[in-house]
Each structure stands twice: as C-alpha cells, then as structure tokens.
Structure 1
C-alpha cells in the first residue's frame, strides 16, 4: 500500500514552474494530493490525472481572519486524509501548512526555503517576518534550503539549526531541463525579429518580477550609462510589473528608452533567453536564482549580485561575473567587460551551459528529494548535503557506462600519452625545428576549443599555416595560408603530436569526437550536441571512416554513434585503423579543397 503525501503551495504557478517532474516521480511511491489556492480545472489532468487536487484559499497577503479559516481547513483536510508526509513551499503556504500538519499530527513535515523576504527589511518588520520563518522551521520536522549559502544564512540568523536544514546536491529546487533551455539559432532569429532587434545588437536580459528588491532600477541606471557608449545595446525586461516600475525605468533610461523592451509574464522564458546575450540579476535578495541556471543552459553568462543564493548559481569568473548589491558602478563595469568582449562572453556562456547540465540535473534533484522523504519516514535524518547519482546529460561519463568508459579509458589515455610523449620526443623536436626554419615563430598553434560537456580548453598543435593578410589587414583564407610544409605535416598527421599533452592533462582522449570550433556549439541539434558527452579525441570514428571527406551531418552522426558505443575494443580498432588511414593518406581534405569547409549549421551541409 502506498503512503500518502500532500504538497501545499499558494500558487499553481509554483507547481507548473518547479514541481511537475517532482510530482511525477512521487506518484510511483505515494498517493499524492496537491493543495493550492484557486487551481485551474485542468491541473490534475496536466499532471497525469493520478493526483488529487484540493482548493484551499491560501492568500499571499496577510489577513488574520482569512488565514485562520485557511488554517482550520488545512487541519481538517490533513486529519481526514491521514497523510504520512506534508511538503510545503513559499513563505505563506509554509507557515500555514507546517502549523496545520503539526496540529494534525502528520509524522513527517518538510518545508523548502527559497529565499527570505525579510533579508532586505529593517526594524520591526524584519524581526516579525524572521519570526514567522522560525515558526515554520519549528513546526517542520525537517527543512530544505535551495542553496548552501542560504542554509548558512538561515543558521546564522537563528531561523533553524544547521542540523535541521539540508541542501539538495549543488542547490536549486528542480534543476534545469537542458533539452528545453538550450541554444537555438533559428529561434533566436525569430524572437529578435518579433521584438524588432537586429541580429548584430547585444541584448541584456532580465527575467523575473519587476520589483525594487530585484535591483531593476539599478539595472536601468546601468543600462543608460552603457547605452551612451554602445548604440547596439538593448535591454529586455521579461516579467510582471508588480510595483509599476516600468515608467520609472523608462525615465531613468532617458533618450535610450526606445531600446528598452518590456514583456509580461511568460510560460516560455527560454524564447527570450536564446534571443539574448547576457542575463542580468542585480538583486538585493534571492533564493537560489533558478533563472540563472536556466539562462546558463541556454548558453548565457550572468552578471549578478554577490548575495546568498546567487553565489551558488554563478561561478564568479567562470560562468558569469558578480558585483556587490546596490553597486551600480560595479554592475556597469562587469557588464562593460562582457559587452566589449564577445570571446569572453562566449567562453563564460559555454562553461555556464556545461555546469548547468552537469550540476543541476532535474532527475538527480528529484532522486535526492525522494531519498530525503524515504529516510525521514524511516526515522533517518538526512545529511547537510544530499547527493544523487549522476546520469544522463548531467553525468560525466559516456552513455555506455561500464568500467572502461568510467575508469579504463582514462588509464589508457594517461599511459599511452605519457609513453608517446617520451618515445616521440625526437620526432617532435625535428618537426619543431622544421617549422621554425620554414614558418618562423611560434612553433605551436593554440586555440580555445570545447571539451567534455562543452567546457573550453586550450588545444595545442604544431603550426601549419603562415600569417598572410589581405590588403585590408584580414587573414587570407586557410587554403592560401597552408604552406607546403604544413600540408606535409597534416598528411602525416604530425601536426597532431602536441595533442598528446592535451590527452595527458585530461582535456582530451586518444579516441573521441574531434574538438571543433567554439562557435559551432550554438549550431548543433540536441542529438549532435551529444558529441560533447565524452572527451574530444585526437582520432575518432569519423576519422577512420573518411576523415574530412565526410559531410558534416555524417561526421556528427558517427560522433554520436561513438558516444553510444564507447568500449575498449572499439577504441583499439579505431587506433589501428587510424594508423592505416595516416599511412594511406585517405580523407585528408574534402575533394578540391586544401582544408575542410566551415560548419554553417544544419540548413546547408557542405560535403
């Protein structure tokens, strides 16, 4: 017989935005009842039709008489249904649900903290609101915080002892769906056209409630200063105007207000994310900042306040840039860095997407919270940080799994690369000397390429092209810069030898999809993007099946096939066939070209 669980929230929006996957997983183990204020008739059906939905008037505003009626209604419901577990989220629902569940003697009562309204308040208002959160924590048998820094804040403010608060994985309530939030060039063009934004413009994005605590007035001031210098800059504000701030923001933007765009609440925030370049969240208080990892999954770096919650969502200097809350100068400086440096913007965006996929898997968070419930029902208090096994897109290993992809492949790479660097050192010195005499310095070619999960690394190869420029000062096409010595090195694959260092350091593998250019990341289909589920390789399945003679679509299909079939016999076979391909000089270039064509996306496939 299934145990009985109840989830209490004030708004249906909370369920649809954060809890649908959570509820779907719970249905396998519990009879689930949802308690929500004014649910729509389709809610139960939209969630699979196997949950019960009860309407209870949980108002966000404080009204003692109405709140008391709501409390009594919850107590009656919980006593009648004899729930084993009650989970609440958001402040008002948490206060009423936890007190009601305690009065109804529900054995397990869990509340999730997602930010504190009182963090920006002062005086008696702060004291009173903090007391309400203490009452929530006191009535609950256990609590969850959506970030490690919020857990520390709650403990430091005396809301709940650290032993009574845990964090799921790296934080967040529900993680991020990397299949939904992802770069989409076609959608980017379409949304920009609908907004009247040119494809060359740089778009700053804010997603959330237009509220003073969100720092939106600071953002308007900062945008006005940047817009004086950058005529291509736009600011896109997406979310309900709760405090009627849009007029004030327009006034702050002055003569640049025509470059300020407002859109109300949306069910498809990903549309605006893929159309933008930088996410801005200069907030004064925040929970985890889920919008940050959603935008990160879409490839956007963030510029945000250095406050609890956000510091868990943004890896400062790696996936975004932080500034002090209320510091407009700091906000402008960080935005200026990203607006002026497209390469930095791309690098942080790629790392942000990789981290979102790796650390914030919805399946992992769902598994972790179900583990919390099971433990509490069995009388086991969870640890401070609750992890779940990695799998799928968020994992760090190939889809095939097993001992070899997880451990053996890296051991083979390390041993073979180390031995290869020692044995081939005389050859590498001779090649370096040849390049120095024919092409001059530098001998090595270095370039940033996407590695495992798209995380950037520096690829090292022997240089094979001369620096030759046209009359306008631009580099000539590759085919005109490829020298006779460079062509010889490529035909013999000697230009790849320094890549053994990349293998030794763990940025690459001996076998895997070739590391391509950073700008290709936004052009892949979701299936093609799976080529980054493994480390890139010096050689791969595509290299032994035609190398550069293959069309892009065929190369990517072979890359994904490798990800799905990764094994020791396959790797050894590819290495053997690579040696033969080099000796026979098959597939060095596309017919009639000195180098391979650039990938232009999936509309035009150059073969």
Structure 2
C-alpha cells in the first residue's frame, strides 16, 4: 500500500522542531536541564542537559563543556591582501592589547600571489589558519566544505571574539557562531558587493538568498554589525535584516597619513590619471576607459592608468581579452597589482574612482592623504570619503561623458589640483586616522 504523501505544512513543522532542538543545545548545557518546552525537547539526549553518557559523540562533549576563551580573537576573511590593506593595523593593535589573535583566510588566491601578504600578517604576531574560502563560488560542495572548515576551526579554537569581514565570512561565521554559542561576534559589512549591484534574474535570486542568510546571521544576540556608511545601514534595517540597536557606524578603516604623504615634487610628464581598484565592472572601469576615449578624441594630453589586479574568473570581472584590447588600443595602461601603493600614488596627478557604490573607499582616503585631487561618483561610500567641490569633483555613476568633463577640468587647471589636493589631505588627517578605527573596534571587543 502506498504511503500517504506528507503535507508541506507537516514537513515545515518537523523542520522547525529540529531547529528548535539544535538551537537549544547551548542553553540546556548551561541550565539545570531547561524548563518547559526546552526541557522536553532536550530530554531525548542527556548530553543536551549537561549530562555525559557513553552514547554521546566526542564533539558534543567538547561543545557542551568548553566555553569560549574571552581574550582569543579570530578574524575570518576571504582575501589575504584585503586583510593587509584594511585590517592589518587592527590586528597589530589587538596583539599589543593582549589578545590571542588568529586569522583564518585562504593561503592561495587565483589572481594574486599571497606570500607577501601572509608574511605581513604573521609579522603582527597573529597565528594563521588556511581556509578555502574565496570571493568567487566553489559550487555547493566547495561552499559546504568551507562552512565545515570554519565550524571545525571555531570548535577547536573557541574564540571569545569572532570578527567576520565581507559577505561570505559574515554569513558562514555567523551561522557557526550561532551553532557553537560563541562569545562576541563582530560582522563587518565592507560594502554591498557584486550581488547587490548586478542586474538580471540570477542576480535577483542571489540577492533574495543572501538577504535571507543575512537575516538569520545578523540577528545573533551576541553579535554587532559594523557599517561604513549610513545608507547601507539604513537599507539593512529597513529590509529587517537586523535591528538597528545591533549595528554601529564606523566610517572607513582610516589611513596612515605618514606613510601616504604627498610627493616632494610633482611627477614629470603629462598629467597621469589613475584608477586604483580591482578590475570589476562595478568599480566603473568601463566608464573610465570610455572617458579616456573621449579625452583622446578631444586631443587632450593625458595618461590613463589602471592599477589593480584582474580576477577574470570572478563574476563581474573584466574579461582578459577585453583588457588586452584596451591596452593594445593605447587608450589606457594597465600596471597590474601594486604592493607599494604609497609610492604608486605619488606617480599620479589625479585619482579617479567612478565606482557604482562602496562601503567606504579606502582608496579615496589614501589618495587624499597623498595630496591628490579626486574625481569620483556621487554614490554611497564614495561621496562619504571626500569633500564635494573642495577635495573632489563628483559625477553621476555610470556617466562616462560627465566623468570625462570633470577630468578635463582638473587636467587643464594645475592650481585647482593643488588646492583640492591640499584640502583633501587636511580633511583626512583630521577625520580619518588609524587610531580612531582601532579604538572603535577594540571597544566592540571589550563590550
């Protein structure tokens, strides 16, 4: 006789009961067996009530008996070079403050050699852990493996503070923090990312899934979410991805103004306009190239340079054949990735970042600290980092013609470039110090 088909509603009830049991494990271990519904749900497994029996698995015993180590800090990130450029001073400060500091990140990257980045991180005193977590997807099997590796690492280290940086580490790390009942979790939203900017049916589906994952992760009771601009924060709160009281605003990661200082003399030759960023569509690379064509058609003597690595396999990345065609055409130069950005920026006369949106552009802070005038988009994360009309000219996103006109204005007026560069450095030195960013994060750890 054929078994009757189970209804969706009944299946949903069974899943909810399963989730209730899983999420109540930690609560039961710290109480005298729980009360009411929680006690009944855990009565099946004595280990869930803090009682060890031979039938319980070893990992359950570890999970139930070991508490997080309060002064152990684990950074979770999917890009070693991003850690170096954005988080390294914080890691160094955490070690100096007495935290047992660890960093879990991929030792290998498809587009860049990470050896120098890993050595720089080790020099801070942090312990490194290889984690197969990349910006681009591995497919379901690869992503499940990455999630499992995060789970096993956190179960072994029991960090008192888990600091997750960017989309995947935030979602996976948040799920693991919930499951293991870790201590403080800091979720650093560095920007909305390609999934929120891209268009099309696939992008809409991914946005739906990512929002659901964010909603489950960011509501973790011991978590706090750090945003770099108020627009992104309001978007998440209005979409009910997290309560406002579990969020804080820390504008930018700061910049070392002594390291990024102006050139003693202006670089020789025609004006050089530099776009320092990963070669992604959402960074405005195509608009930059089109603006270069417009300027060349007007017989304006200028060098247009792309500085940044190209991950051709990543969604939203510039295609290799397209990049080589631009260089062969002579419309732009591509210098590749630079690990010495202070010296690289001092070769430029103007910095241009026509990004569609950012979390809070560190590139613009570094350019301003170097005393360079800026042309950037009137978009969240870009306009927040500059003084419109004083240190930078703002243009509409995705508008190559407006971009070319703003660049032409600065190319033709060296005195305006000097005034805007000086004003930008003054603003950054006063408002965006490394000490401010470090102090704000250490306060979150101690809360």
Specify the TM-score bucket, using the shorter chain as the normaliser.
0.7 to 0.9
Q: How does 1:116-265 map to 2 (within 5 A)?
A: 116=192, 117-122=194-199, 123-136=201-214, 138-140=216-218, 141-168=223-250, 171-172=251-252, 174-185=253-264, 189=267, 199-242=268-311, 243-245=317-319, 248=322, 257-258=329-330, 260-265=332-337
Say which SS state the counterpart of residue 318 (structure 1) adopts. coil
Shift of 1:251: 5.7
Q: How does 1:581-600 map to 2 (within 5 A)?
A: none
TM-score, normalised to structure 1, is 0.56
User: Partner of 2:24 in structure 1?
Assistant: none
Q: Could you tell me whether the CA contact under 8 Å between 2:293 and 2:331 is conserved in 1? A: no
CA deviation after TM superposition for structure 1 residue 79, in Å: 2.1
**Are the aligned partners of 1:202 and 1:232 in contact in 2 as well (CA < 8 Å)?**
yes
Partner of 2:164: 88
Checking the alignment, whether the CA contact within 8 Å between 2:292 and 2:332 is kept in structure 1 is no
- Do the aligned partners of 1:181 and 1:270 also contact (CA within 8 Å) in 2? yes
Deviation of 1:161 (Å)? 3.4
Shift of the 345–44 alpha-carbon distance from structure 1 to 2, 3 Å rule, reads: closer
The alignment of Structure 1 onto Structure 2 pairs a total of residues equal to 360
Q: Is 1:281 paired with 2:353?
A: yes
What is the aligned partner in structure 2 of residue 52 from structure 1? 127
CA contact (8 A) 1:20 1:47 kept: no
| Aligned pair partner of 2:179 in 95, 103, 107 | 103
The aligned residue for residue 341 of structure 1 is 413
The reply to whether residue 11 of structure 1 matches residue 90 of structure 2 is no
Tell me which residue corresponds to 2:149. 73
**Per-residue CA distance 1:102-133 (angstroms, 9 max, x = gap):** 11111211110111122322345234235325
Cα gap change, 1:246 to 1:345, in 2 (>3 Å): farther
RMSD: 2.5
Give me the whole-angstrom Cα distance separating, in 1, the residues matched to 2:355 and 2:229.
16
Match of 1:20 among 88, 92, 101: 88
Residues 442-453 of structure 1 correspond to what in structure 2 (within 5 A)?
none
| Contact persistence 1:37–1:55 (CA under 8 A) | yes
Q: TM-score, normalised by structure 2?
A: 0.74
Equivalent-residue separation in structure 2 for 1:252 and 1:53 (angstroms): 39
C-alpha spacing 1:47/1:130, structure 2 compared with 1 (3 Å): farther
Structure 1: give runs of 5+ residues left out of the alignment: 190-198, 376-607
Task: State the Cα distance separating 1:303 from its structure 2 match.
Answer: 0.8
In 1, distance between residues paired with 2:378 and 2:320? 25
Q: Distance in 2 between matches of 1:59 and 1:252?
A: 28
1:9, 1:15 within 8 Å by CA — same for their partners in 2?
yes
Distance 1:277 1:134 in 2: 44
Residues 174-573 of structure 1 aligned to structure 2 (within 5 Å): 174-185=253-264, 189=267, 199-242=268-311, 243-245=317-319, 248=322, 257-258=329-330, 260-375=332-447
Task: Please state whether the residue corresponding to 1:300 is helix, strand or coil.
Answer: coil
Structure index of larger Rg:
1
Structure 2: runs of 5+ lacking an equivalent: 1-68, 109-113, 312-316
Q: Tell me which residue corresponds to 1:512.
A: none
1:137 deviates by 5.3
Q: Confirm or deny: 8 A CA contact 1:149 1:312 kept in the other structure.
A: no
Cα distance in 1 for residues equivalent to 2:162 and 2:423:
38
